[in-house]
Structure 1
Amino acid sequence: MATSQCFVNPPNLSSTCGAGCVQELGGLKTYITGPQDSKLAILLVSDVFGYEAPKLRKLADKVAASGFFVVVPDFFYGDPVDLDNPLLDREAWRKAHGTDKGCEDAKVVIAALRSKGVSAVGAAGFCWGGVVVTRLAWTEDIQAAVVLHPGRMTVDDIKEVKTPIAILGAEIDNASPPEQLKHFGEILSAESGIDNFVKIFPGVAHGWSVKYNVDDESAVKSAEEAHEDMLNWFMKYVK
């Protein structure tokens, strides 16, 4: 599996934003929000810039407002990408934080949710997280998957998918070109019969759903539309 990811436009990080709180879940520090007694949970898997991203936590709170218990784990163990760090070794970071390890950690988090009485789990991933969530969709660990501007994936990755999956892509994206994402949808429909939804958002670039400019009305509208599509997919399958 390809694990190359995009190191562009990091969000402003904060450890205090969001309506929820940070607790340990499955051995990972995790931002949690929403009703903890809900039987329906959503796992959000961040891009390389980590679980503290304010817009990601804002999105988690939005999903939680629909009645889901939402968890955003720190899959990087306190070591997200920091482009302001002059000593950043991108290749070493990729090796230390591969998507294979992210997927295994995610399974532990899902098991922890199940042990708390959760009966259905949906997962959404962004860039790096999109690759992780696609791998989760190879299993029966989750009931629905959403990938938003995913990192680089292959046809073989898609052929393994067994879970209903929505793929939300950007018109401007070298990591996941629109033509490739549309082809993924064709494969899912023709070869596996897995329910899928592929949508390409015009005029936006990789990362738009969690790294939009709040002063750009069009950018905000596109991000919110993607969030709504994601939530609708979860409402359909996580129940």
Structure 2
Amino acid sequence: MAGPQCCANPPNLNPGSGVGHVEELGGLKTYVNGSSQSKLGVLLVSDIFGYEAPNLRKLADKIAAVGFYVAVPDFFYGDPYEPNPEKPFQAWLKDHGADKGFDDAKPVIQDLKSKGITAIGAVGFCWGAKVVVQLAKVEFINAAVLCHPSFVTPDDIKVVEVPIAVLGAEIDHSSPPALVKQFEEILSAKPEVDAFVKIFPKVSHGWTVRYNIEDTEAVRCADEAHQNLLEWFVKYVK
């Protein structure tokens, strides 16, 4: 499910943000950071606002700083969502479905492996969570994290094969706590899949990447989620 919260708090896109650089991976422009000697990779799949969002790149840099090679592809081919009365969100979404994102992610993963990366984690934000849950198979990645997912269904969760963390928001109409709890119940019935499910109180959909950097509490909540996903990847991407 997607709604107004998916489009709220749009970032000011900045192609020059971050301390990494842009190169091509799997046919997509991709922001990358991290040691080329690392054998461990993390793929970030953005929300609808795309790979130039400064907070997203800041998180990529944070993940790279602990030893991962991080890739943030431009799954929207230079066309991230922008409020436009002539092209409403649903019309934009028809051109940028998560199934296409899933197909585009596979050659990116192949390119990461061709660099010598032997273990890969993936984290998806909002729109990107649907892509990552489809990647959550042993042939693609080693671990997954979903942050305030959109479009993810219980049926998606049922077929997950790798360790997965779901970070939900208390104030979320796309994946309300009741749905996240349903995900937790499904995962609890799959003892072969390690899982971590957490609902963050008093935060809204998008809080991990679309926070106000001048709001101390918002930054603290985002940092807590970032720490959780980092701990997940340190544990399972090795």
> TM-score range with shorter-chain normalisation?
over 0.9
Matched, 1:43 2:43: yes
What percentage of residue pairs aligned between the two structures are identical? Answer: 61
Question: What are the residue-to-residue correspondences of 1:172-191 with 2, within 5 Å?
Answer: 172-191=171-190
Number of residue-to-residue matches in the alignment: 236
Q: Which runs of 4+ in 1 moved over 6 A?
A: none
User: Is the partner of 1:87 in helix, strand or coil?
Assistant: coil
In structure 1, give the amino acid aligned to 2:22: V
Matches within 5 A, 1:1-239: 4=2, 6-83=6-83, 85-191=84-190, 193-239=192-238
> Is the 8 Å Cα contact of residues 129 and 152 (structure 2) preserved in structure 1?
no
User: Contact between 1:23 and 1:30, CA under 8 Å: does it hold in 2?
Assistant: yes
Once the two structures are superposed, what CA deviation does each residue of 1:194-235 show, in whole Å capped at 9, x if it has no partner? 110000111000000001111211111000000000000000
The unaligned stretches of length 5 or more in structure 2 are: none
User: Superposition RMSD on alpha carbons, in Å?
Assistant: 1.2
Deviates more, 1:15-24 or 1:214-223: 214-223
User: TM-score, length-normalised on structure 2?
Assistant: 0.96
Q: Deviations over 1:130-181 (max 9, x none)?
A: 1110110144310000000000221111101001000001000000011211
TM-score (norm: length of structure 1): 0.95
Q: Is the 8 A contact 1:33 1:60 kept in 2?
A: yes
Partners of 2:214 and 2:79 in 1: CA distance? 29
